[in-house]
Structure 1
Amino acid sequence: MRPAQAIHNWQMDQKTEPNMPEQKPQYVSAFRTLLRYIRPHLVSFGLVFLFTVIAILSDLLQPYLMKIAIDDNLIVGHNDYRGLLLICAAYFALSATSFLFTYLQNNLLQRVGQSIVGLIRKQLFSHILRQSMRYFDRMSSGSLITHISSDTEALNQFFNQVLLSLFRDGLTLILIVVLMFHLNVQLALYCLVLLPIIMIIAIAFRSFMRTTYQLARTRLSRMVAFVAENLAGMNLVQAFHQQRQQEQHFNERNGLYFQANIREIRTNVLFGRTFDVLSNLSIAFVTWAGGKAVLNENLEFGVLYAFITYIRQFFQPINTITQQWNTLQSATVAISRIWTVFDSEPDVRDPKKAPSGWDEENIRGRIEFDRISFAYEPDVPVIRHLQLTIEPGEMIGVVGTTGAGKSSLISLLCRFYDVQEGAVRIDGVDVRHIPQASLHRIIGLVQQDPYLYSGSIIDNVRLFDDSVSREEVIAACEFVGASTVIQKLANGYDTKLSERGSGLSSGERQLISFARIIVFKPKVLILDEASANLDSQTEQLIQNALHAVSRNRTTIVIAHRLSTIQQADRILVMSKGEIAEEGTHEQLIEAGGHYSQLYENSK
């Protein structure tokens, strides 16, 4: 179907990216899989690591400079102003270097991280677009939106927060320990005794923090879902005067989320303050032990000053790394969920090459359903051994009760699904042997509830395909009678529509969808309940357009309103996946069967 192909080109370049995993990834952890995307950026990550080392050293050497100024100048009584000026200049240079390389490190890491996340988001959306209809039957739209938005955002936080913390805070810890041992081995060993205590506190808080974090996220999701549900059904809420009751329900959910948020904040504050207390106790202990050594002249005062400064800096990265645990967990889960989507393969796949002799431009439009059987679920057949041939240019009407298999028949022709038995052929070629892009260009589908995108009316008619001129769009709209409606709008054809075309009636949206068909000139036209929501006046416009559009074009019309198909060359009455009756309107009325009953009931 050409409209679908146009949307395909507008929304996403469908070419496989060079870095995209083509097979099911084999990995022990989610992050091993992520290495597939990180590997092309190893040079950039190497530069980030180098910049981080320079920035950290610039920070950590500043207390060491103060130690030199105190021990080698001030304490010994040297009035070396030139030396002090040099130390001050070096201190300033280190501060500037730290600022510069921290800036470069952050920007480069964010650039690389955003590139990776952007590529994954693009490939994820592209992969979802290539899935078969059966996949969307299994997956809710909410889950897919979560994968594209929330899960990729969690991955983004991994680069923004977790990876940066591992680089910066991990190196800071290592270099602080090295410098403390360089200054005084005994005091450094005293400080290392604190590590088991820190680990015990971190492990104890980790589980509690995870629980509070998950509780807050769960309650937020429930509150958002409640709001979305009420916004979608606002007409029902107001019609039954449920505002007060729904407001009360919302306040309850909002209160629960508030409590969970307070609990999460309280936990984070308690965790951070615990580390602050431990840090202050450590400083007090180092001051006591080091001060005693200074008084006994076993330790220089400058060394003690530098040591106390490093102890202050020692706890901050530990605190930061521990607080990133929840983000790390969220990123791990998100990566696993993203790769679950990547693992899914479409049920309907293109053939390796187009069938020999296939000429898309010279399609006659002969359709054959050759003894087909189909079921959405095993052992629950929807269509049973159906045999049907539609000649080129013939107009076929299809009627039947809900669940009779009418729309399933159309889905098989469009190859949204594949048959379990038999074959669907166009001009003698099995649709499974025709590339989907080619198949969808020759089949035009107008559904009961036409979908309009955010954009101008011009863009909605040509579906963002710039190869279709403005003049062609206007001519198509005039042909179906939509121009009268469009010209009444504030900006005419340039009027911006919101999502789903709110502000237009069902009939007006349907007219625009008919104009799409005329613009893209398909060889086969399918109308799936296209007139179900139209008023009598608009239906007459559609009827006039339909007769003109269907001329010399194979047309299948599924209809509840029998007036839509009375002029069809043939009418099929479907029941339980089979053709129960077949003939013209007059023949079926005369037969006095199921169609006749439907006709009498519709009067």
Structure 2
Amino acid sequence: MTTEWHGVAAEDVDEVPDEAGVRLRRRSRALLGSLLRPYRNRIVLASALLIVQNVSGLAGPYLVSVGIDAGIPPLVDDRNASVLIAVVVALVASTAIEYASRRVYLAISARVTNGVLFDLRRRAFAHLQRLSPAFHERYTSGRVISRLTSDVDALSDMLDGSLDDLIMQTLNLVVIGGLLLVLDWRLGLLTMLSFPLLGLLIAWFRRRSGPAYRRTRETVALVIVHLVETLGGVRAVQAFRREPRNDEIFDGLASDLAAADRRVMRLMAVFAPGIFGVGTATTAVVLAAGGWLAVQGDLQVGVLAAILLYVRRFFDPMQQLSVFYNSLQAATAALEKISGVLEEQSDVAPPTTPTPLPARAGRGRSLELRGVRFGYADERTVLPSLDLTIPAGQTVALLGATGAGKTTVARLLARFYDPTAGSVRLDGVDLREVDDDALRASVVTVTQENFLFGGTVADNISFGRPGASRSEVIDAAAHIGAEPMIRALPLGFDTPVGQRGSRLSAGQRQLVAFARAVLADPDVLILDEATSSLDIPSERAVQRALETLLADRTAVIIAHRLSTVEIADRVLVMENGVIVEDGHPADLLSVGGRYAELQELASR
């Protein structure tokens, strides 16, 4: 079941089929194992320190029993305190060892935790950058943020404080069980009668808490998605008075999150008191039985005191298992989500054995589409079968109504998508065989919505070629006619552009994007409605600069403004993914047809 909220798919994840759940757990364990593997030596050392800490801590009750049974009678009879003093010294020493091992363990575990989280964030971020635009179009930015923030934080909570509780409790289970049997096998067996009850309670909680925590992680992600979309489009929200509806949607998402949290809390309300109840009942039974044995003379008082201390020491931490399972289930659900993202494969996977592009000979590089068919997911076919050849150095203009397939052609030429059939070639080499770095260096796209990053104008221009000098940045801006505009800004090239370039006008942002493309100096330049945000004077200035810029490279220009087409060597008119006219602008005007009709409409 899927509910649509403001473009957000809320999946019904309350229950996961057994087979799918096994696959999710296997995948998340594999991810955690790969993250921990580089730190295995430190983990072994930390585990050894935990054992030392555990043994030192568990020595306390035994030393207390020795002090009571072997140290106090000599002190009372002949005032000989040597045994008691030795016990006290041993108790102090064990406490000091416990403290020192705990301190070193915490330092090592902190380094391991920080390293694991750093590796996970870096791996997830790098993988997300490599995934194709198709993935980011279907996987909202809010979900991505959730994976890298709240999900990673859930794993951090487990690694920071809960994992050592599990290890310590496991050690307690083994060591205390053995000590109880050594001290008095009757009371030891009596204590162990509680183990099946604890096992059943833990198994019940694990079985029901898994789906509950998965639901919690999903609802958290949906809240973040809604926040990102609402605040990212706050101008549209306010312009169309969307606030009441968005409040309603947020209330629904927040209610779902609260319901998911309540479900977890109800489980915890059974589990934690259950552990406490079993522990209290076991302690009471052991006290009663041990007291009766002591009265009969079958058990020393010191031994009984040690047994009670061990039982208490066993069940008190057991109550912390509720906290551990809380962190464990949250971290498991988070790992399942993160591992799912890392398992995603790019729709435009890099070649295993790249084919190098031939050396550039002359002007630009040739482009070719051979029998290309393409359609976006769950949509009709946009390009049924397209054949197109663009010789090196030619400037081609693509015209047509909205939905004709122009932008799709541009995306295929830049390899943001791969065709479902046929091939797209650069200098005769299939783009699927070209190394990504070589392709991005050869083909650059400038769109209507070019993204500006936080930083200065100069920073955003140099994005086209990292490491470019300041003079090269200024030359690129001058080449496109943007230098006067930039010099007029408050700090010139050092003017901060704001979030997504919010401090610049649409036209100014577009000129910065053009300068960025000029600095990149590609073999092929694709302009997808790149001048639509410019005013007429700026557009004319850019067109004059483009005549020089495009002289030694291949260019594909997509535009609704026919004035932009004036610099083209060739015009292609598209309808429903098919080229219906192809020729020089003057030739197409002379014969009439769709291009002539478009010119006539533009002149009215």
TM-score past 0.5 threshold: yes
1:69 aligns with 2:67: yes
Q: Is the 8 A contact 1:27 1:33 kept in 2?
A: no
SS at match of 2:53: helix
Aligned counterparts of 1:307 and 1:281: Cα–Cα separation in 2: 15
- Post-superposition offset of 1:222: 4.1
Q: For the structure 1 residues 561 and 220, does the alpha-carbon distance in structure 2 shift closer, same or farther, using more than 3 Å as the test?
A: same
The answer to whether the 8 A contact 2:398-2:572 is kept is yes
Listed one character per residue, the Cα deviations across residues 257-314 of structure 1 (whole Å, up to 9, x for unaligned) are: 4565456446535532333333333322222222222222222222122211111111
Partners of 2:117 and 2:413 in 1: CA distance: 37
The CA RMSD measured in Å over matched residues stands at 3.3
Q: 1:187 to 1:254 in 2, by over 3 A?
A: same
- Who is 1:51 aligned against? 49
Q: What residue is the counterpart of 1:109 in the other structure?
A: 109
Cα deviation code 1:331-390 (max 9, x no counterpart): 4444455444444444443262434x8225x56324242543221369954334434333
Match of 2:231 in 1: 231
Q: Alpha-carbon deviations, 1:2-29, whole Å to 9, x = none?
A: xxxxxxxxxxxxxxxxxxxxxxx99966
Structure 2 match to 1:302: 302
Distance 2:355 2:253 in 1: 56
Say if 1:526 and 1:240 are closer, same or farther in 2 by CA, change over 3 A: closer
Match of 1:500 in 2: 500
| Alignment-derived partner of residue 352 in structure 1 | 353
Q: Is the 8 A contact 1:364 1:427 kept in 2?
A: no
- 2:571–2:582 contact (8 Å) kept in structure 1: yes
1:503 is matched by which residue type in structure 2? R
Distance 1:313 1:485, change over 3 A: farther
- Asked if 2 retains the 8 angstrom alpha-carbon contact of 1:369 and 1:386, the reply is no
- Confirm or deny that 1:518 pairs with 2:514: no
Question: Structure 1's 588 and 227: CA in aligned 2 closer, same or farther, altered over 3 A?
Answer: same
How far residue 52 of structure 1 moved from its aligned partner, in angstroms, is 0.5
| TM-score scaled by length of structure 2 | 0.85
Deviation at 1:462, TM superposition (A): 1.2
Per-residue deviation, 1:72: 1.5
Q: Distance in 2 between matches of 1:93 and 1:238?
A: 68
Distance 1:392 1:247, change over 3 A: closer
Matches for 1:164-203 after TM superposition, within 5 Å: 164-203=164-203
User: Shift of residue 552 of structure 1?
Assistant: 2.5
Q: For 2:127 and 2:181, locate their aligned partners in 1 and report how far apart those are by CA, in whole Å.
A: 53
Within-5 A mapping of 1:256-405: 257-258=257-258, 261=261, 264-265=264-265, 267-346=267-346, 347-350=348-351, 352-355=353-356, 358-359=358-359, 362=361, 364-369=363-368, 371-376=370-375, 380-405=380-405
Deviates more, 1:288-297 or 1:137-146: 137-146
How far 1:449 sits from its partner (Å)? 0.5
Does the C-alpha gap of structure 1 residues 80 and 254 become closer, same or farther in structure 2, counting only changes over 3 Å? Answer: farther
Contact kept? 1:395, 1:569, Cα under 8 Å: yes
- SS of 1:324's partner is helix
Does the residue aligned with 2:566 lie in a helix, a strand or coil? coil
Give yes or no for contact 1:348–1:417 (8 Å, CA) kept in 2. no
When structure 1 is superposed on structure 2, of 395-404 and 545-554 the one drifting more is: 545-554
8 Å Cα contact 1:365-1:427 kept in structure 2: no
Per-residue displacement from partner, 1:204-223 (whole Å, max 9, x unpaired)?
44455556545554554444
> 1:248 & 1:150 partners in 2: Cα distance?
24
> What letter is aligned with 1:314?
F
Is the contact made by 1:351 and 1:434 (CA closer than 8 Å) also made in structure 2? Answer: no
2:221 and 2:381 map into 1 onto residues whose CA distance is 38
Q: SS where residue 597 of structure 1 aligns?
A: helix
Contact preservation (8 Å) 1:367, 1:424: no
Cα distance in 1 between the residues matched to 2:206 and 2:91: 38
1:434/1:221 CA distance change after superposition, 3 Å? closer
Structure 1 residue 573: deviation in Å? 0.8
Q: CA deviation at 1:450?
A: 0.3
Deviation at 1:566, TM superposition (A): 2.2
Aligned residue number for residue 11 of structure 1: none
CA 462–424 in structure 1, closer or farther in 2 if over 3 Å, else same: same
**Worse-superposed segment, 568-577 or 233-242:** 233-242
Which deviates more from structure 2 when the two are superposed, residues 396-405 or residues 452-461? 452-461
| Segment drifting more, 580-589 vs 413-422 | 413-422
Instruction: Give the match for residue 19 of structure 2.
Output: none
Q: Is the 8 A contact 2:70 2:83 kept in 1?
A: no
TM-score normalised per structure 1: 0.85
Alpha-carbon distance, 1:36 to partner: 4.2
Q: 2:53 touches 2:98 (CA, 8 Å); kept in 1?
A: yes
Single out whichever of 553-562 and 473-482 deviates more from structure 2: 473-482
Equivalent positions of 1:429-444 (< 5 A) are 429-444=429-444
Task: Confirm or deny: 8 A CA contact 1:400 1:575 kept in the other structure.
Answer: yes
Alignment deviations for residues 19-50 of structure 1 (CA, whole Å, 9 cap, x no partner): xxxxxx99966425643444443322221211
2:58 matched residue in structure 1? 60
